[in-house]
């Protein structure tokens, strides 16, 4: 191996995955070769574990995984790594749910790891965000939710978005972090204060004994900001938001153009047997 082992942390949506939510054959081959060379590859996503395990298995990874933007970090194949679950306080969650129901938001979803609490049945959410393995409880969240939630997802009407964000900042800033998903969903995602992907990334770096300067991280959205900033080499996708591009060390091609594979090929000097067959 020509270079020392790197830790390569990769976001899923808009980064590793194309618009069809798939990993290209070229990207799979490049990641396999990077791992063969001794580099560590890990997924760092806002998704719950149930919605990312498919890709973990597809890449045949054997690393810890960062879920819920750092609120849940564990090693699917090695219990000795430990389980790091940092939910928000139930009282905080109930207070936010109460404020949201008062103004009649479209929907609210709470997750306690892989248990899902849905305020109202919603086919779009059921298809896109809930996998079959989950336990789903539909109905009034403030009555059904009995445990500290890993995350809260608020789906407001478009005209409510700015006011809701102001309310969260004003009344709950010390207790929570919140982000907004990209259009068209405009969902507000809420986790416990102090959590982000870099928290999980630090844990992985300690586990693999890889210094900060040998961490490469890829992302495209505002939930990747801290991770991109923390990594020795923070890489923004070509399709990333401007704010992320501004703080990144490098910018690669878009997720549709195999940006992750393209960057790793060059940085780690990976040459695949026949690129033409893998495009």
- Catalytic residue annotation: 11
Is the CB of residue 136 less than 8 Å from the CB of residue 121? no
Cα(277)–Cα(196) distance, integer angstroms: 38
SS3 36: helix
Q: Residue 8 region, left (φ>0) first, then alpha (ψ -120 to 50), else beta? A: beta
CA distances 199 to 12, 133, 144, 225, 254, Å, are: 17, 27, 30, 12, 26
CA distances 227 to 54, 108, 140, 201, Å, are: 23, 27, 35, 7
CA distances 101 to 108, 119, 133, 168, 239, Å, are: 9, 9, 28, 14, 35
Tokens representing 123? 């086919």
DSSP 174: T
């Amino acid at each position: 191996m020509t270079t020392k082992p790197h830790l390569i942390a990769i976001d899923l949506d808009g980064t590793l995955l194309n618009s069809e939510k798939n990993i290209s054959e070229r990207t799979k081959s490049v990641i396999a070769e990077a791992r063969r060379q001794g580099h560590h590859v890990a997924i760092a996503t806002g998704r719950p574990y149930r919605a990312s395990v498919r890709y973990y298995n597809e890449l045949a990874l054997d690393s810890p995984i960062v879920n819920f933007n750092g609120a849940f970090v564990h090693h699917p194949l090695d219990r000795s790594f430990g389980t790091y679950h940092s939910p928000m306080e139930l009282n905080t969650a109930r207070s936010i749910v109460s404020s949201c129901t008062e103004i009649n938001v479209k929907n609210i979803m709470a997750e306690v790891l892989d248990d899902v609490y849905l305020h109202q049945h919603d086919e779009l959410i059921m298809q896109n965000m809930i996998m079959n393995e989950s336990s789903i409880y539909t109905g009034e969240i403030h009555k059904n939710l009995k445990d500290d939630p890993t995350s809260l997802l608020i789906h407001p009407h478009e005209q409510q978005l700015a006011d809701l964000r102001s309310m969260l900042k004003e009344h709950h800033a010390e207790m929570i972090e919140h982000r907004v998903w990209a259009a068209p969903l405009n969902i507000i995602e809420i986790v416990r204060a102090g959590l982000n992907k870099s928290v999980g990334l630090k844990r992985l770096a300690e586990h693999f004994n890889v210094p900060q300067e040998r961490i490469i991280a890829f992302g495209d959205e505002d939930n990747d900001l801290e991770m991109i900033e923390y990594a020795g080499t923070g890489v923004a996708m070509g399709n990333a938001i401007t704010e992320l591009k501004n703080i990144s060390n490098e910018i690669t091609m878009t997720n549709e153009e195999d940006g992750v594979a393209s960057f790793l090929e060059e940085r780690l000097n990976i040459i695949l047997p026949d690129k033409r067959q893998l495009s």
